[in-house]
Structure 1
Amino acid sequence: KSVMDRDVIDRVRKDTVGCNHDLIHFNNAGASLMPDYVVNAQIEQIQLESQVGGYEAAELTLDKTQSVYQHCAQLINAQSVHEIAAMYNATDAWQAPFYSFVKTLSQGDLILTSSAEYGSSMIPYMQSIGMYGIRIEILADDEYGQIDVLKLKKRLNSDDCTRIKLISIVHVPTNGGLVQPAAEIGQLCREYQVPFLLDTCQSVGQIDIDVEKIECDALCATGRKYLRGPRGVGFLYVKKDSVFDTIEPYKLDLYSAHVLNESEYVLESHARRYESWERNYASWFGLGAAVEYAQALTMSAIESQIIFLSNDLREKLSQLPQVKCTDRGLFKCGIVGFVVENTNAQDIFSYLKSHRINVSLSNASSTPTQMRIDQLDKVIRASLHYYNEVNEIDQFIDALRRYINAHGSS
């Protein structure tokens, strides 16, 4: 049953403009609807900048700027604000440690990854093969379609295990509800002393993330997805004294490093070495407000409510003719992927949009390896958040049923 009280759901929906305009927003893995608290945090900063100037506004809000680091650290149970870096988005936050690390590798070194990786991660992997002569290996999946932890342990004990230099995986892929067993993978990484880079762009904000339990060395997150923050902002976690905390970033400026003289510079300490001087302060404060909003509701309640709603959607989809859920994993999150046999996914997307129902499409290029293995070209993705309701799910199912009855064939 629903975990959140009715009055809490009513309040968060009242706080969310999009919920009050006959819109069913099931595209939270793309970009969630921002609550008023987040919108106002950005407007206030923009207004301040227009009144006193951008530099001057930044100086007046120094304490507020630092508080966002604190909130982000608390959200994922980081041990220090110095383990958090402000980034432009999750891709930026992932590429910063990855490209900085991969340039330290030698020809023949090996990076282990998953079949569920983003296309935007696969491209840097392929690029690095050409630039540095490294190897990329896709880890085996178990019967649930998630990384097989037992086979991973065997791989870390194999003859060429000394060439394994990094395990880099996405926690939740873009095309479905799979949640990789990150904590078990992190435990193996610690046991075998292999750095662990985790992409949590789809999981932060919908799953209660604890970096101490996961034991990752670096983690990337974005504001626009389940955190309900603005676009164009994210953050990077870098564990103190990890390899990512000691290497030199692949790009530097006057904020990430400091000039000593005309021939020497010194790096900024800890995660801040991955930052750039320029930032959008309005977006940064919007991110901070989004984290505060989630913390007030508690991540445990948010996660439970999302699981309740997504399980309800999967159950109702399973009762429709020609519909097949494509989600992998033993534990499934708020992203629900499905196909409708003998229909065109783009046409369904457009039909739902015409009825003010937002979903998205995941193409094969977005998760190339997994989609090839599962023989999928396009997946319809409905991603639910805690502010969605069961009656919205029922309206979605009714609309999909009408489309199938009109356009499908058995």
Structure 2
Amino acid sequence: MLDLISLRAETPGVQHVVHFNNAGASLMPKPVIDAITAHINLEAEIGGYEAAVVKKEAIQDFYVSTADLLNTTADNIAATANATDAYARALSSIPFDRGDVILTTINDYVSNQIAFLSLRKRFGIEIVRASDIPSGGVSVADMAEKIRLLRPRLVAVTHVPTNSGLVQPVEAIGQICQEYDVLYLVDACQSVGQLPVDVTQIHCDFLTATCRKFLRGPRGMGFLYVSDKVLSRHMAPLFVDLHGAAWESADTFRLEPTAKRFEDWEFPYALVLGAAEAHRYALNVGLSAIAERNAELCAKLRSQLIELPGVHLLDEGEQLSSIITLFCEQQAATNLKDILLTEHINTSLSMHGAAIIDYDRKGMKTATLRISPHYFNTEDEINTLVETLKRTLA
């Protein structure tokens, strides 16, 4: 049982807003805020380089706490500016040739899909998307068949897509990739902090995430998990700087042996320290307890939303995430979001351009309203949201 009173007491934002935009950027808890501001003050007092030296051990804890989140080691973690930055660094380390196949899904994140298209334009790779099962979510059987027949250079799956409530079967796909020795990239941007994520069970070679969403960390920080297999094969991002490699002679360099070869030298260390605090905070609350609480809140909210006149949920899949996407016959999603905001209720929009394949097959040509509860939300806040929507639709 979570101590909701203490958790909310440590979350200053709940005094001002009802926050259901945790899939966008969650409310930071006070220990995270304090870690960031304390380091900024330290930099102001003694200088940025000097402050980094003073806080060297605390900075290293970013790698330890992130590794603990994913059940790996600190040497397998790289700090990045955001999830998309991490994803691009992973992609750039793969030596694609013309005709290579990237096998992905129809629900992979928009930035990932655009990156695949860019690779196709630049290198002539092929993009293949596995089919979905009727209940929603990618077909593991079709994935297995396509891996067997196509032997893709890369399999890429978004664990929890940005819309439609899906949780993709990344562990089952990872077992197939391991069997065929295919590189496997998992976008866990919306799942880390919301659900337990274990890279040893997923069997991925890369995993990317941001700190600002369900992990409740600061904006401007992300991370990349890199497997021992990738490191042992001397894979590295296309552009390595002096932090990721040592310049040995005029014409040679030596890669950093750990995942730090995927990093740049310059970091916003205040945010690194804040992210480390956020990761420890999630671990202390308990990832299983967070997942259980989120499932309870979302089940309650979904059951009330489907009773509202003209409201249709777009969520599908055998397991549902803490992302609820809906459209309403009477009001455009943009209007609903603005109306809720006037009542200090934060939600967000899921645009057609962020999920073109999924929304086209559902006949959705406009934005939808995205509601993303998290464990610190209350049943009273859910009731406030539903009552506001009910008044608006009436």
Q: Do they fold alike, i.e. is TM over 0.5?
A: yes
| Structure 1 counterpart of 2:206, one-letter code | A
User: Aligned residue for 2:299?
Assistant: 311
| Structure 2 counterpart of 1:37, one-letter code | P
Structure 2 spans left out of the alignment, 5+ residues: none
Distance, in Å, in 1 between the alignment partners of 2:163 and 2:4 is 27
User: Aligned residue for 1:35?
Assistant: 29
Distance, in Å, in 2 between the alignment partners of 1:387 and 1:135 is 43
Distance, in Å, in 2 between the alignment partners of 1:283 and 1:298 is 22
User: Aligned residue for 2:320?
Assistant: 332
Contact map agreement 1:217 1:243 (CA 8 A) in 2: no
Distance, in Å, in 1 between the alignment partners of 2:232 and 2:122 is 20
Is 1:98 aligned to 2:91, yes or no?
Answer: yes
Q: Helix, strand or coil for the counterpart of 1:393?
A: helix
Q: Helix, strand or coil for the counterpart of 2:121?
A: helix
What's the % identity of the aligned pairs?
38
Contact map agreement 1:88 1:232 (CA 8 A) in 2: yes
Contact map agreement 2:231 2:257 (CA 8 A) in 1: no
Alignment partner for residue 366 of structure 1, among 320, 330, 354? 354
Measured against aligned partners, the alpha-carbon deviations of 1:179-202 in whole angstroms (never above 9, x if no partner) come to 000100101111111111000011
Is 1:341 aligned to 2:329, yes or no?
Answer: yes
User: Aligned residue for 1:17?
Assistant: 12
Shift of 1:11: 0.5
Structure 2 length normalisation: TM-score?
Answer: 0.98
Structure 1 length normalisation: TM-score?
Answer: 0.94
Distance, in Å, in 2 between the alignment partners of 1:307 and 1:291 is 21
Is 1:173 aligned to 2:161, yes or no?
Answer: yes
Measured against aligned partners, the alpha-carbon deviations of 1:330-380 in whole angstroms (never above 9, x if no partner) come to 100111111111321111111111111100001011122212222222111
Shift of 1:243: 6.8
The number of residue pairs the alignment matches comes to: 393
Shift of 1:122: 1.3
Q: State how 1:211-290 maps to structure 2 within 5 Å.
A: 211-242=199-230, 246-290=234-278
Structure 1 spans left out of the alignment, 5+ residues: 406-410
Range moving further from structure 2, 277-286 or 137-146: 137-146
Shift of 1:226: 0.3
Measured against aligned partners, the alpha-carbon deviations of 1:147-197 in whole angstroms (never above 9, x if no partner) come to 101121222232xx23x1110111111123100001001011111111110
| Structure 2 counterpart of 1:396, one-letter code | L
Contact map agreement 2:231 2:258 (CA 8 A) in 1: no
User: Aligned residue for 1:109?
Assistant: 100
Q: Helix, strand or coil for the counterpart of 1:137?
A: strand
Distance, in Å, in 2 between the alignment partners of 1:316 and 1:399 is 12
Q: Helix, strand or coil for the counterpart of 1:157?
A: helix
Distance, in Å, in 2 between the alignment partners of 1:89 and 1:303 is 23
Shift of 1:234: 1.0
Contact map agreement 1:73 1:81 (CA 8 A) in 2: yes
Shift of 1:248: 2.9
| Structure 1 counterpart of 2:8, one-letter code | R
Distance, in Å, in 2 between the alignment partners of 1:308 and 1:365 is 30
Contact map agreement 1:107 1:133 (CA 8 A) in 2: yes
Measured against aligned partners, the alpha-carbon deviations of 1:197-216 in whole angstroms (never above 9, x if no partner) come to 00001110000001001111
Is 1:60 aligned to 2:54, yes or no?
Answer: yes
